[in-house]
Chains A and B, each alone.
Chain A
């Protein structure tokens, strides 16, 4: 079996196992909470039922009827099913995207109460913001890193390093709060909240979206670009010390060509994959950034579901979809690395 195929299969199995573990955790916690919620609901219904019983019944008749009603309700809610069965059922439902219905009567502005519908309503906005930010940050970061590598050791290079270290240690959403304070409160250039989304159509709609997107987008790019540039710079400078680069220089190949041709060829796979991976890692921070800007994406939905509604099915749905996206993204980044750098092989490091 060719090494790349083995690599591919192993990575895919890995991804499935990870997804399964997370779904199992979701199902376990979900079933536990669902039981507790069902018990509360049953208690309410039984109380209402007892209140509506005719008054001429004896005490014994009453308690007999109440017991029967309680048993009937517990049967309906499936409280007596074994716990593993409930967990298994929930696991299967989650895997097959039957994520249940929201507890909230508002549907969060989506057309119906199904969790999948609600998430479909919010997910595109997260993807829009996040991928735009990722593309800008990766291109800008790699460009800045290459420039810094060319002038390694100078003041510009040092300044970039410090900028990278400083911004890498900042929580993205906190920078977002400062951005609102400066550009929305003090200067009044942008609206402080992205919500509600524009209702116009055509040109006005896109203009409205762009104005709302400016601040969150700038925040994500500002926080991530320094670290990206710094990583690129380090990768490139370490390759520049390799023998073959020295040989190329000795041959008199111009420095520009050495960097953009020879070095970049070697540096590209780790730079690209580490960029993608670090963006995947920042998805939590980006979702919280949405909350700060009231950008109506998954993070905003998550906060509303937690804070205002305590809406478990929606929260579980978001967790599942986020995990799914992460696992797929991680797998793709891995594949891309294997594709860009054919030397990669599972267990290869063992033969050192």
Chain B
């Protein structure tokens, strides 16, 4: 008994040594280790993501459709970073005015300014003004409103993307446009205008249709007439960025980097379960069939051929549609059907091994069938089965992604497929939000490349005949 274990150990060690010599295999293997590390660290790398993906409140503070931070290095122009101001820069107690100073040095100015104001007052109503003073001395008054006080406090939210914010921006742009084209009776309508950029645009003839960033110092002023004190907790300003994080955000403000981490985790989970179960079932099925031969083999092979004829894609569509949109149903179907092809190959190789002398020797020494299979035949074929099983992982993950795009995404988890299906649903392709498409897909590609090259390198190690080609 101890001899056999030593044998296996020695064989595994020599295989590892040989595997290290395969360059592509080592690259692929490093990718797998990287994805595994990210998955294991996911609770710390990306907290509150999994169950919160569809909860808009979780992503409220993020910018919409922001490119990754590194976009500035590969694409022309500079983008405003995401800038959250918890504290104001200046407080004028005579008029109770607070000021936020913003240096715009970017070709693509902030995508939005969101202002949260709250405070206390002994009056029943206060008057609230919010305006933006531009470097060229122009002043855009966004809010001039009476706000009612309940229980001595109030809170107010304003955004450039709100309808009031868009109205003021458009009016500002339209006035400038009229200065340049006094006779233009049909100025561009608000739908065709790049409205988020207008407050930060140079006052020139292109302000409506092709605005150009006006660089310099902007001051955002909030004035609340009749207020006693601003509430420091509830008063803050977001200069939402045009770039954000390692992977940007989608059009619903979700941080794609956080989703990506969980995508890696689920990819390895579903791929891993299917791959392990397929390897085990295929080994048992193929070996049993090969060892016993005769009518047992005949029946098992005919049954396997029937399974091989079942198309997995329609089965997945119908079960996930009718029973539930869950990755576990997908895993179940693949566990039931995934082993069939591998079992056929294992059986063919098992028949060769069965005729080897050491198997015959074990049999003549009185070993039972089960013992010969588990002790002598399976260890021979295990490395080969693992190599083949590795190739299944990307297949399953890509299937999950594809079904998500068809509308069968599991709503309880974040997968790369779900991110891509949302990209398709919200027309990321025709809006040019490349990071939303590129990065989750890159996850699928990395996973595929990692496991395919590793599997192929393993195949070469365990099957030396292939190396000659």
* Interface residue stretch chosen among A11-19, A55-63, A96-104: A11-19
Q: Is the CB of A319 within 8 A of B429?
A: no
Q: Report whether A327 and B309 are in contact in the complex, using a CB–CB cutoff of 8 Å.
A: yes
B444 at the interface (CB under 8 A from A): yes
B413 to chain A, nearest CB (A): 18
For B453, list chain A residues within 8 Å (CB): 165
Which stretch, A204-212, A256-264, A281-289, touches the partner chain B?
A: A281-289
Bound Cα distance from A140 to B444, whole angstroms:
26
How many Å from the CB of A217 to the closest CB on chain B? 17
- Of the residues B314, B316, B424, B432, contact of A292 by C-beta under 8 Å: B424
Asked if A192 and B317 make an inter-chain contact with CB atoms under 8 angstroms apart, the answer reads no
Q: Say yes or no: A169 contacts B448, CB within 8 Å.
A: yes
The answer to whether B401 and A21 touch across the interface, beta carbons within 8 angstroms, is no
From A80-88, A109-117, A301-309, the one touching the partner chain is A301-309
**A257 CB to closest chain B CB, in angstroms?**
22
- Give the residue name and chain of the B residue nearest to A316 (CB): B318
Q: Are B311 and A326 in contact, with the CB atoms below 8 A? A: yes
Shortest Cβ distance from residue B438 to the other chain A in the assembled complex, whole angstroms: 7
Are B406 and A26 touching (Cβ within 8 A)? no
Whole-angstrom distance between the Cβ of B334 and the nearest chain A Cβ = 13
Interface-located stretch among A67-75, A172-180, A267-275? A172-180
- A291 at the binding interface (Cβ < 8 Å): yes
Flag if B469 contacts A322 (CB, 8 Å): no
**Residue B276 CB within 8 A of the other chain:** no
Whether A32 is near chain B, meaning CB under 8 Å from some CB there, is yes
Contacts of B405 in A (CB 8 A): 173, 288, 291-292, 303
Pair B420/A25 contact, Cβ less than 8 Å: no
Q: Is residue B310 within 8 Å, beta carbon to beta carbon, of the partner chain?
A: yes
Closest chain-A Cβ to B424's Cβ sits at a distance in Å of 6
Within the complex, which residue of B301, B314, B402 is in contact with A323, where a contact is CB–CB below 8 Å? B314
CB nearest neighbor in B for A323 = B314
Taking the closest CB of chain A, its distance from the CB of B276, in whole angstroms, is: 20
- Say whether B402 contacts A173, CB under 8 Å: yes
Contact of A319 (CB < 8 Å), options: B318, B399, B420, B448:
B318
Residues in chain B near residue A320, CB distance under 8 A? 314
Cβ of A338 to closest chain B Cβ, rounded Å: 14
Q: Please classify how large the interface on chain B is, using the bins under 10, 10 to 19, 20 to 34, 35 or more.
A: 35 or more
Knowing A291-B424, A352-B351, say if A22 contacts B311 (CB, 8 Å).
yes
| Neighbour of B348 across the interface among A32, A169, A285, A349, CB < 8 A | A349
Let me know if A234 is at the binding interface, CB within 8 A: yes
Contact between chains at A347 and B310 (CB < 8 Å): no
Q: Do the beta carbons of A181 and B406 come within 8 Å of each other?
A: no
Q: Binary interface profile of B, 424-451, with partner A (CB < 8 Å = 1, else 0)? A: 1000111110100110010011001100
Picked from B298, B306, B315, B406, the residue with its CB within 8 Å of the CB of A14 is B306
Indicate if the CB atoms of B444 and A319 lie closer than 8 Å. no
B430/A29 in contact, CB under 8 A: no
In the complex, how many angstroms separate the beta carbon of A1 from the nearest chain B beta carbon?
A: 17
B314 — which chain A residues lie within 8 A by C-beta? 22, 318-320, 322-323, 326
Q: How many angstroms from the CA of A306 to the CA of B407 in the assembled complex? A: 6
Scoring B305, B313, B445, B456 by chain A CB atoms within 10 A of each residue's CB, the highest score goes to B313
Q: B residues within 8 A CB of A330?
A: 309
C-alpha gap A174/B315 in the complex (Å): 22
A322 near B441: Cβ-Cβ < 8 Å: no
Out of B298, B302, B449, B469, name the residue touching A169 (CB < 8 Å): B449
Evaluate contact between A186 and B432: CB separation under 8 angstroms: yes
Per the bound structure, the CA–CA distance linking A234 and B452 in Å amounts to 17
B241 CB to nearest chain A CB (Å): 22
Across-interface contacts of A280 in B (CB, < 8 A): 311
Tell me how far the C-beta of A221 lies from the nearest C-beta in chain B, rounded to whole angstroms.
19
State the CA gap A330–B348 with chains docked (Å): 21
For residue A344, CB closer than 8 A to chain B, the reply is: no
Decide yes or no whether A33 CB sits under 8 A from chain B: yes
Indicate whether A185 sits within 8 Å of B322 (C-beta atoms), given known contacts A177-B423, A284-B402. no
Contact B445 A170 (CB under 8 A): yes
Whether the pair A323, B406 counts as a contact (CB closer than 8 A) is: no
Question: Known interface pairs A165-B452, A184-B429. Does A26 touch B407 (Cβ–Cβ under 8 Å)?
Answer: no
A284 contacts across to B, CB distance below 8 A: 312-313, 316, 399, 402
Q: Which residues of B contact A185 (CB under 8 A)?
A: 429-432
- A299, B423: Cα distance in complex, Å: 18
Chain A residues whose C-beta falls within 8 Å of the C-beta of B313 in the assembled complex = 283-284, 287, 322
Q: A21 contacts B449, CB within 8 Å?
A: no
Query: Which residue of A32, A288, A306, A318 contacts B402 across the interface (Cβ within 8 Å)?
Result: A288
Indicate if the CB atoms of A15 and B309 lie closer than 8 Å.
Answer: yes
B323 touches A171 (CB 8 A): no
With A29-B322, A165-B453, A177-B441 in contact, do A18 and B309 touch (Cβ < 8 Å)?
yes
Chain B positions within 8 Å of A17 at CB level: 306, 309
**Is B434 a contact partner of A181 (Cβ separation < 8 A)?**
yes
Indicate if A4 sits at the interface (CB-CB under 8 A): no
Q: How far is the CB of B384 from chain A (nearest CB, A)?
A: 18
Query: Taking the nearest CB of chain A, how far is it from the CB of B305, in angstroms?
Result: 6
Task: Knowing A178-B437, A323-B311, say if A303 contacts B406 (CB, 8 Å).
Answer: yes
B319 part of interface (Cβ distance < 8 Å): yes
Complex CA distance for A186 and B315, rounded to whole angstroms: 38
Tell yes or no: B110 within 8 A of A by CB: no
User: Can you report 10 A-B residue pairs in the complex whose CB atoms are below 8 A from each other?
Assistant: A14-B306, A15-B309, A22-B311, A33-B322, A165-B456, A166-B449, A184-B430, A302-B406, A322-B311, A349-B348
Where the two chains meet, the residues of A that have a C-beta atom closer than 8 Å to any C-beta of B are 14-15, 17-18, 21-22, 25-26, 29-30, 32-33, 165-166, 168-171, 173-174, 177-178, 180-181, 184-186, 192-193, 234, 237-238, 241, 280, 283-285, 287-288, 291-292, 299, 302-303, 306-307, 312, 315-316, 318-320, 322-323, 326-327, 330, 347, 349-350, 352
B residues with a Cβ closer than 8 A to A are 293, 297-298, 301-302, 305-306, 309-319, 321-323, 348, 351-352, 394, 398-399, 401-402, 405-408, 420, 423-424, 428-432, 434, 437-438, 441, 444-445, 448-449, 452-453, 456, 468-469
19 extra A-B contacts, CB within 8 A, seeds A169-B449, A307-B407, A323-B311: A25-B319, A32-B322, A33-B322, A165-B449, A165-B456, A174-B441, A181-B432, A185-B429, A192-B430, A288-B406, A292-B405, A302-B317, A303-B406, A306-B406, A315-B321, A319-B314, A320-B314, A326-B311, A350-B297
